[in-house]
Structure 1
Amino acid sequence: MSFLFGRAKSRATADLPKQARDHISKLEGPNGASKSEELARVLSQMKVLLQGTQEADSSPEQIYQLVTGLIDEDLLHLLAVNLFRLPFEARKDTQVIFSYVFRFRPAAAAPKSDPIALSYVVCNRPQVLVELCRAYDHKESATPAGSVLRELLKNEAAAAIILYDDGDAPGSSSKGLNAIDRDRPQSGRGVFWRFFDWVDKSSFEVAADAFTTFRELLTRHKELVPRYLSVNFDLFFEKYNNVLVQSKSYVTKRQSIKLLGEILLDRSNYSVMIAYVDRGEHLKICMNLLRDDRKMVQYEGFHVFKVFVANPHKSLAVQKILIMNRGKLLSFLSHFLEDRTDDEQFIDEREFLIKQIRNLPATPVPPQR
């Protein structure tokens, strides 16, 4: 008789995604509250099925059936879109479901193959990733979605989907990974560009989570990101400098300057760094940071400023600014952050910059490259 119970369990597993889809479709209707509770119960059942219990381990066969059911019913997309509408515990359960589903590989799968749900999403349903990003529009969904996103961003293809989302424009990731044109400049209308406002204009909790995801996008993949930044250099750094580096929020300003320094000093971003420190207007922004009223902003700004000064092939524009302000800079730097007496590296770097500025030529010299 046990095979009968096995069939019953199989049918119950197959029904869960269909039930969830039905409840989601009625969340905004007159019975939305009751449907929300019913959906929460279904999601809780899914979580238990994926995790197992103390009494019984999860079944790989049932997990496979649930994962394929979630894909077939387009439930990954529906849950991402409606995450903010779910009750608190249901949002937590959904986070667990996403995490398990996007990691699941069938036993017969090749060891280095992508999980089936992740492979499906990046090739056929990239909107799932886009909607997880858009969860930052709502404080209710920001944290669970952010946690899922950062796990997904360990995969380069998932990161590419988010970076290259550009609506219906040619070369956008909206039609899947294989449709991406990595050499086509972005319009700035894709979901990645929304992060600038999520980081700068959201509540503290949402902004902090969005920045963590934003940083992950820009620092993890050492081939994907430098190419992206090179192709979209002007648009990216215009937004980065104007929205984040010059933000009115102290937290946003400080952490954005620190991240800028990390990006510029990463060896994989060498060509991006050279392009950035060639611009006189970028140096002016950086010099203003050194005069900020807040010492930690000054300190983070110093680590960007030193990239300009240490560059042996300074552009004419950068040389002109440094030479014109040589006297003021030497006087300013000699007393800059004097209280950091225990920071030997900072003191050495400050002295190095003073020496470099003092030894600049009387007039700009064309750089030799």
Structure 2
Amino acid sequence: MASTAGVVLSIKDSFLALPTKTGDRALEEVEKNISSLRQVLSGDGEAGANQEQVLQIALEICKEGVLSLFVQNLPSLGWGVRKDLVICWCILLGQKVDENYCCVKYIEDHVELLDFLVVCYKKSDLALNCGIMVRECIKHPTLAKYILESNSFELFFEYVELPNFDIASDALYTFKDLLTKHESVVSVYLSSHYEQFFERYTRILTSANYVTRRQSVKFLSEFLLEPSNSKIMKRYIQEVRFLNIMIGLLKILSICRSVTTNRHPL
């Protein structure tokens, strides 16, 4: 079996060769290496992964900057290898060495990777892969905080209204995680970005898309009712402009439910 360093260097070299080798041949090499990495990280089905080896690979991947290569080359990869890469990404981000998540620390030092993943939601063939990768990052408060405070966060207000239902739903799922996973982070963010956030959120509350409106109303009630957001909720419902919008939306949703029930009686 190749050494841990050898495994990681093979992966790195195959990615670096993508611009120079013939397309199919280079991609096959990457696919083979990522498939092998997935087996090492998750086990082969009969035996579980060697945790010590997994930790060493995570450290080596950070040392060699391979996480950056994963993200930067995502658009060039085929569906199958992207699927394996996403599995590897999720496992690697969960590796803890001496109380620190080494891959999370790497991303903290290379936050442009988060921006890249969020921007890739615009590409229909990448969106769902990127969604999983972003949500794995959001599990960690420092990375969630970065996205919330970055310009990339604004893109989610566009993504939840995309005409592709699967992508819009996935974006809303990610949006929800951003605003519910870490109460203290979200509370601080909403307190300091109150006007900016709710002006944007009002746009999706009044979206022409009924599903978007319905989901955004439901979600708004969920995260405003979080105990840590009690002050934000009181401020929100005391503002006539927002209260009127909510009353109007609830009336519309009630009418739509009534029409649906009449069309499809139990």
Please give the range of the TM-score, normalised by the shorter of the 2 chains: 0.7 to 0.9
Distance 1:56 1:226 in 2: 43
CA spacing shift, 1:30–1:247, aligned 2, 3 Å: farther
Q: Does 1:273 align with 2:266?
A: no
Q: CA 1:270–1:81 in 2, change beyond 3 Å: closer, same or farther?
A: same
Matched, 1:163 2:163: no
Match of 1:72 in 2: 63
CA contact (8 A) 1:77 1:131 kept: no
Give distance in 1, aligned partners of 2:44 and 2:255.
48
Output one character per residue of 1:138-179: Cα deviation in whole Å (capped at 9) or x when no partner.
Answer: 2222222222332332222221121122xxxxxxxxxxxxxx
Q: In 2, Cα distance between the equivalents of 1:18 and 1:30?
A: 17
* Cα distance in structure 1, aligned partners of 2:45 and 2:183: 41
Please point out which of 189, 192, 195 is paired with 1:231: 192
Shift of residue 33 of structure 1? 2.8
Gaps of at least 5 residues in structure 2 are none
Structure 1 stretches lacking a partner, 5+ long = 1-7, 166-189, 300-336, 340-369
State the shift of 1:205 in Å.
Answer: 1.1
What does 1:117-156 align with in structure 2 at a 5 Å threshold? 117-122=103-108, 124-156=109-141
Q: Does 1:24 align with 2:42?
A: no
SS in 2 for 1:139: coil
**Counterpart pick for 1:114 among 100, 104, 122:** 100
Secondary structure, counterpart of 1:201 in structure 2: coil
- 1:295 aligned to which of 243, 254, 262: 254
User: Matches of 2:130 and 2:210 in 1, distance apart?
Assistant: 25
Cα pair 1:289 1:298 within 8 Å, conserved: no
In structure 2, give the amino acid aligned to 1:223.
Answer: S
Distance 2:85 2:21 in 1: 24
Aligned partner letter, 1:154: K
Deviation readout 1:87-142 (Å, 9 max, x if unpaired)? 11111111111111111124xx3xxx2322113322x2222333332331222222
Counterparts of 1:14 and 1:55, CA distance in 2: 25
Q: Is the 1:245–1:253 Cα contact (8 Å) retained in structure 2? A: yes
Q: How far 1:195 sits from its partner (Å)?
A: 0.7
Distance 1:53 1:263, change over 3 A: closer
Contact 1:291 1:298 in 2 (8 A): no
Q: Report the aligned-residue RMSD.
A: 2.6
Aligned residue in 2 for 1:195: 156
| Structure 1 match to 2:178 | 217
SS in 1 for 2:125: helix
Structure-2 change in CA distance of 1:267 and 1:78 (3 Å): same
Q: 2:245 is matched with which residue: 281, 285, 290? A: 285
- Residues of 1 paired with 2:24 and 2:96: CA distance? 35
What is the aligned-residue identity percentage? 30
Shift in Å at residue 338 of structure 1? 11
Structure 1 CA distance for aligned equivalents of residues 90 and 122 of structure 2? 21
- CA gap 1:297/1:199 in 2 versus in 1, 3 angstroms: farther
- What is the Cα deviation at residue 219 of structure 1? 1.4
Kindly report structure 1 stretches of 4+ aligned residues shifted beyond 6 Å: 296-299
Contact 2:62-2:102 at 8 Å conserved across structures = no
CA distance 1:63–1:274, shift in 2 (3 Å): same
Following the alignment from structure 1 to structure 2, what is the Cα–Cα distance between the partners of residues 296 and 60?
A: 55
Q: Residue 31 of structure 2 aligns with which residue?
A: 40
Q: Which residue of 2 aligns with 1:169?
A: none
Rounded Cα–Cα distance in structure 1 between residues aligned with 2:56 and 2:236: 50
Distance 2:21 2:206 in 1: 46
The SS at the match of 2:73 is helix
The alpha-carbon deviation at position 202 of structure 1 amounts to 4.9
* CA deviation map 1:230-260 (0-9, x unaligned): 1111111111101x11112222111011111
Conserved 8 A contact 1:105-1:115? yes
Q: Is the 8 A contact 2:162 2:168 kept in 1?
A: yes
Q: Cα distance, 1:28 vs. partner?
A: 5.2
TM-score in terms of structure 2 length: 0.87
Contact (CA 8 Å) 1:51, 1:58: kept in 2 or not? yes
Per-residue Cα deviation, 1:316-337 (whole angstroms, up to 9, x for no partner): xxxxxxxxxxxxxxxxxxxxx9
